[in-house]
Structure 1
Amino acid sequence: PELAGASASIEVGVRASTPDGLPLVGESRTAGVILAAGARRNGWLLAPLVADMVAAYLTGADPGEDAAAFDPRRFEG
């Protein structure tokens, strides 16, 4: 019910990607939204790491040493 009337923007492409080629994993600038996107062709290889990081974010645990490299907010000026 709290999402009734919410708007969404949908974009599609062959593979989601970031300028530095690393995925977006972690808290977005929107409170309560955890991202796990943009792994490109390495999605299969990174899936266990990304899953562990998302679980850590959801439980308040340490997401590990890769958290800064994958932080979705790293591109904000």
Structure 2
Amino acid sequence: MPDDSNAPILLTPEELQRITKRTRPTAQARVLEHLGIPHLRHPIDGSVVVGREAALKALTAATDTPGAGRQEASNGLNWSKHA
């Protein structure tokens, strides 16, 4: 397991772009909101600020419970049910 003690407390701009697939802060904030990742906007330049631990926690929670939050599709299919 890698030692993360030297990891920065905030996600880098490159990491934000990789997670959101967006470059503009407004678009990044929309994607982060959709993913459930807590974030703030910097008061001076409007850039997105995301804590590393908060992002890891949100992304881990999203992948720990497969099928959570899934709803029946408009065509009647329910992908959360097992055969």
Task: Give the TM-score band, short-chain normalised.
Answer: under 0.3
Greater strand percent: which structure?
Answer: 1
| TM-score normalized with structure 1 length | 0.27
Greater RCO (CA < 8 Å, at least 6 residues apart): 1
Q: What TM-score does the superposition give when structure 2 sets the normalisation length?
A: 0.26
